[in-house]
Amino acid sequence: MIDIAAAIAEHQEAFAKISALEPAMAAVATEMTNTLKNGGKVLWMGNGGSAADSQHLAAELMGRFMRERPSLASVALTTDTSVLTAIGNDYGYELVFARQIAGLCRPGDFVVGISTSGNSENCILGLRKAREIGARTAVLVGKDGGKMKDEADHALIAPGPNTARIQECHIFIGHTICDWVEAACMPQG
């Protein structure tokens, strides 16, 4: 039997420590807002649960989070099975994001890599390609931040060693950043 009370306590402990990330969250939200106001776009990438987070957060911007407003340009690089399988099959799985970034990313865009370990090779190569192009970058990572913490302009490291708790922190951080960006991008009435 798993201990549900222990899982709840662990979740609360992780969230209690998120306050330390507040300045970094504000910095990412500010840069993302500037990207969108300047006609750029926000790209997201990750594997497994982090692929789901990428799609979820891109949808908050492209669609609507809490406010009625024009669409904000954002794409998850995790959704097109033809693109993912073609690149994976022909070039290797480690290039599934870098190759899409090479085709879609422009200077001034903003690229977010999400990974609990911070060590997913496809995200690392995606971040390198983004920076080569002149995009700004952030990572949502966990544990010790892994290699990805050193591959981006901003590193948001969710506290604790547990993958599930890290993912719960990531979606909270992502939602809060989207809330900020949406508010900042509201047309002035």
Ligand X SMILES: O=C(CO)[C@@H](O)[C@H](O)[C@H](O)[C@H](O)COP(=O)(O)O
Whether the Cβ atoms of residue 179 and residue 48 lie closer than 8 Å to each other: no
Smallest distance from Zn ion to CB 115, Å: 12
When CB distances are held under 5 to 8 angstroms depending on the partner's kind, the choice from Zn ion, ligand X, none that residue 116 binds is ligand X
Q: Which is nearer to Zn ion, 99 or 165 (CB)?
A: 165
- Ligand-binding site membership of 49 (annotated): yes
Q: Which is nearer to Zn ion, 57 or 181 (CB)?
A: 57
How far is C-alpha 43 from the chain's CA centre? 8
- Ligand-binding site membership of 153 (annotated): no
- Ligand-binding site membership of 120 (annotated): yes
Distance from C-alpha of 77 to C-alpha of 41, rounded to nearest angstrom: 12
Per DSSP, which regions of 98-153 are E strands?
Answer: 110-114, 136-141
Whether the Cβ atoms of residue 129 and residue 105 lie closer than 8 Å to each other: yes
- Ligand-binding site membership of 170 (annotated): no
CB atoms within 10 A of CB 176: 16
> Per CB under 5 A, does 49 bind Zn ion?
yes
Q: Which is nearer to Zn ion, 83 or 172 (CB)?
A: 172
Whether the Cβ atoms of residue 101 and residue 77 lie closer than 8 Å to each other: yes
Smallest distance from ligand X to CB 116, Å: 3
- Ligand-binding site membership of 116 (annotated): yes
Q: Which is nearer to ligand X, 72 or 84 (CB)?
A: 84
Distance from C-alpha of 189 to C-alpha of 179, rounded to nearest angstrom: 19
What is the binding site for ligand X (CB under 6 A)? 47-50, 115-117, 120, 163-164, 167
Mark out the alpha helices in the chain (DSSP H runs).
4-16, 22-37, 49-62, 81-90, 96-104, 121-133, 163-184
- Ligand-binding site membership of 119 (annotated): no
Binding site residue list for Zn(2+) = 56, 60, 167, 175
The contact set with Zn ion (CB under 5 A) reads: 49
Binding site residue list = 47-49, 56, 60, 89-90, 115-117, 120, 167, 175
Binding site residue list for substrate = 47-49, 60, 89-90, 115-117, 120, 167
